[in-house]
Chain A
Amino acid sequence: MIEIQHLNKFFGDRQVLFDINLKMMPGKCNLIIGQSGSGKTVLMKTMVGLLAPESGSILFDGRNFVKGNNQELLTSIRREIGMVFQGGALFDSLSVLENVMFPMDMFTKKSRGEKIKRAKDCLQRVDLKGAEKLSPAELSGGMRKRVAIARAIAMAPKYLFCDEPNSGLDPRTSELIDNLIAEITDEYGITTIINTHDMNSVLKIGDTVNFIYEGKLWWQGNGSSILDSDNKEIIHFMEASELTKRLLHNHRDKHLTA
């Protein structure tokens, strides 16, 4: 479990995260949702120590690396983290296979053959068999995300962070990526954290949902309870998508007739 307590983050004089308190559950897809600019990426990068918070605690199964700016602890926690960045962040000088092998090259004593086998398994897991030799520039957006996921799970992480894993993808591909992440989370019992503003993902894989509004944790619940929320900002957020707007209204009508 990951626990965040009283987290505040500033850029210069500007505060972007206000007293965030939340818990991320193991073996579940924990979603952070909110409008563009609400602070999702900043929250996620703070959780993995890429940005330093001004105050607060971040505990990975009880271990708080923020306290005393504990770099050694942070490094050892990071060995248990896999992360999928918003743009994929694939190493463009390396092939797909080398990208997935990279974390193993850095940290394991496995033979080259074993590393290749593991990398191929991971690529197969994300349905990318046969793309090993391609370079990142030759991949479509959806394939890039898959490679990024394969690289993130190569070291069998305990915690998986995904920053907008389906942004820029068509609805069908988005759904495939969502399902993939949900399955992986379930299969390996990972604590998965997903940033998204896609309502489809929220309804489908949101085991826990944390809604961030202007840097504040505004609402918490899950993919099924969100339609019942009477929070003004949440409703506004949901109504931004025509599909969820209709879904929401159908849902309400059903409730009224029931």
Chain B
Amino acid sequence: MIATIGNYFLLLRKVFSPSGKQKMFWKQVIDEIHQLGFDSIPIVSLVSLFVGAAITIQLQINMDSPWIPIYAVGFATRKAIVMELAPTIIGLILAGKIGSHIASQLGSMRITEQIDAIEVMGVNSASYLILPKIIACLMFNPILIMLSIVAALFGGWAIGVSVGGMTSYEFIYGLQSFPHPFDLAYAIIKTVVFAFFISSISSFYGYTVKGGALEVGRASTKAVVNSSIAIILSNLVLTQLLM
């Protein structure tokens, strides 16, 4: 355990050490945004839409009281989605999707000696392969979270208006009441931290695979499990720090 964490930091040091030529760097980042970011749009939208709808229904059922104004449902939906659902739930989903992708890609490059081939050319393979993935996640995950927020609020609105017996006006009025821009900043800060954990932890497990195809599968599982743990623990810490 301690040794693993130590090796993780050693790898990070190699990733962030200045490495020869960076000519291909931005091209790499764009490729990664394609593979890791664009490909996640469907799953992020789908999950957000349905969870947003479910949250609205829950809130509506539990807040059905003459003492609570109906627009409070919209307000509570917004809070729940922006503060936890979008950054944390979607963070966990991305840990599964992006994490397994990164770990299996790097793992198979390791066991087929492609990483050795890069290294032997005199290229810092860790930096060349991992840094673009980290940068791509740091740049694109916040966009995915914004998308998630929009999709979830839309899901909530659609269900609230169609089966929840709310008017569109009441729901939107609720969404807009007590504006608190810091909530959004809070969601973005969390997302950026989670993006770093997902990309770096998964890269670590993929890059350091030893053995064969079976170990690549194992590394991929470890990448997802440990990125998820990192997200949940740091979520708690960040909530304490930022709230």
Contact = CB atoms under 8 A, between A and B. Distances in A.
B112 A87 contact: yes
Interface stretch (B20-28, B169-177, B178-186): B20-28
Contacts of A45: 116
A85 B23 contact: no
Given A75-B122, A76-B122, A107 B116 contact: no
Given A78-B122, A79-B122, A89-B112, A105 B24 contact: yes
Contacts, number: 49
Nearest to A161: B120
Q: What is the predominant secondary structure among interface residues of chain B facing chain A?
A: loop
Given A78-B121, A106-B121, A91 B114 contact: yes
A14 to B, nearest CB: 15
Nearest to B124: A75
B116 A50 contact: yes
B112 to A, nearest CB: 6
A239 B23 CA distance: 52
Nearest to A103: B121
What 9 pairs between A and B have smallest CB-CB spacing? A78-B122, A89-B113, A89-B117, A85-B113, A75-B122, A83-B120, A79-B122, A89-B114, A103-B121
Interface of B: 20-21, 23-24, 112-114, 116-117, 119-123
Given A48-B120, A85-B117, A107 B21 contact: yes
Contacts of A102: 121
A75 B21 CA distance: 12
Interface residues of A, number: 22
A190 to B, nearest CB: 15
A157 to B, nearest CB: 10
A106 B112 contact: no
A75 B114 CA distance: 17
Nearest to B115: A89
Contacts of A24: none
Contacts of A75: 20, 122
B122 A83 contact: no
A102 B117 CA distance: 11
Given A50-B120, A75-B122, A81-B120, A105 B114 contact: no
A92 B114 contact: yes
Contacts of B114: 89-92
Interface string A88-107: 01111000000000110111
A85 B24 contact: no
Nearest to B121: A103
A144 to B, nearest CB: 11
A222 interface: no
A106 B20 contact: yes
A174 to B, nearest CB: 20
A85 B116 CA distance: 9
A75 B124 CA distance: 9
Nearest to A91: B114
Given A85-B113, A87-B113, A89-B114, A50 B23 contact: no
A39 to B, nearest CB: 17
Contacts of B121: 78-79, 81, 102-103, 106-107
Contacts of A107: 20-21, 121-122
Nearest to B17: A71
A105 B23 contact: yes
